[in-house]
């Protein structure tokens, strides 16, 4: 729609397309870099805190064992302590191994870059030759049906544009809700978590889970892990309920001019 609007104002087609695509090409790598670098820094910070968690667990269980001995319950402290320490070390080693696998995702990054190149090029070609493509598509049908085909394509174009605009609005609203709620509850890195929630909201089905993982990791490594984890879980569960029951149907429904009940059924 923006390309057509610029063309109606005597802007050459090639320049109109570049005006639309170049900001996306410029902003997307920066956004991707900020997200990846932020996640790497957070993962490194969480990994650095894990030995403290292990030490805290050892001290806690040693205190508990001492109280049991005071009550006359005779147990071997070293056996339990060694077992707990071994399990905590295994968990620590597993987490460190998982973090190290992130560095081996070069192939996935290459595919992202490859798609990032292919998608703008394809978009440019489709936009530049859309009249030729439309003429070819129109020739597939009888001449008396051409007006109906043109009307259908025009309505389809408008509906898809409205739908994606609704998705972008929903993405911004979700990111704001998550970040603002975490800020109110005193959770660190609320800005990063809000940004992750907004970006992951574009991904169907698994985006919510992907955005929840770093949040819960930050919660369990905070000074008050139980309280922080409860706060984070409450925020994400409440946001998901609000999005599924109200925000999604209303925003997407208004954008695509569909009844909210239709959108809810489609989401289900």
CA nearest 119: which of 25, 17, 18? 25
Q: Which residue has the higher pLDDT, 78 or 236?
A: 236
CA nearest 189: which of 227, 228, 243? 228
Query: Is residue 77's pLDDT more than 70?
Result: no
What SS3 class is residue 62? helix
Query: Is residue 145's pLDDT more than 60?
Result: yes
CA nearest 183: which of 225, 232, 220? 232
CA distance 7 to 207: 36
Cα 104 to chain center, whole Å? 21
Query: Is residue 88's pLDDT more than 70?
Result: no
pLDDT digits (tens, 9 = 90+) for 160-186: 778 788 888 888 898 899 889 988 888
Burial class (CB in 10 A: 0-12, 13-18, 19+), 47: middle
Q: Which residue has the higher pLDDT, 246 or 175?
A: 175
Q: Is residue 128 within 8 Å of 17, Cβ to Cβ?
A: yes
> What is the per-residue pLDDT for 154?
80
Q: Which residue has the higher pLDDT, 173 or 131?
A: 173
What rounded mean pLDDT belongs to the chain? 76
Average pLDDT of span 9-32: 78
Cα 237 to chain center, whole Å? 15
């Amino acid at each position: 729609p923006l390309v057509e609007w610029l063309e109606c104002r005597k802007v050459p087609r090639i320049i109109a397309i570049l005006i639309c695509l170049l900001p996306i090409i410029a902003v997307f790598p920066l956004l991707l870099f900020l997200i990846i670098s932020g996640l790497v820094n957070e993962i490194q910070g969480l990994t650095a805190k894990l030995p403290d968690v292990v030490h805290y667990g050892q001290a806690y269980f040693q205190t508990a064992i001492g109280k049991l001995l005071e009550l006359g319950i005779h147990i071997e402290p070293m056996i339990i302590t060694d077992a707990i320490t071994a399990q905590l070390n295994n968990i620590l080693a597993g987490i460190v191994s998982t973090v190290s696998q992130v560095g081996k995702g070069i192939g996935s990054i290459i595919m992202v870059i490859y798609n990032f190149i292919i998608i703008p090029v394809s978009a440019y070609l489709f936009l530049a030759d859309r009249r030729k493509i439309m003429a070819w598509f129109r020739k597939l049908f009888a001449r008396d049906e051409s007006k109906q085909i043109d009307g259908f394509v025009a309505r389809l174009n408008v509906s898809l544009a409205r739908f994606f605009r609704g998705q972008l609005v929903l993405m911004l609203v979700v990111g704001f809700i998550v970040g603002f709620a975490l800020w109110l509850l005193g959770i660190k890195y609320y800005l990063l978590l809000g940004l992750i929630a907004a970006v992951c909201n574009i991904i169907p089905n698994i985006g919510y889970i992907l955005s929840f993982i770093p949040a819960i990791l930050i919660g369990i490594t905070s000074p008050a892990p139980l309280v922080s984890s409860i706060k984070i879980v409450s925020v994400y569960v409440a946001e998901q309920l609000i999005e599924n029951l109200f925000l999604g149907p209303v925003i997407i429904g208004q954008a695509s001019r569909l009844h909210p009940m239709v959108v809810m059924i489609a989401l289900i």
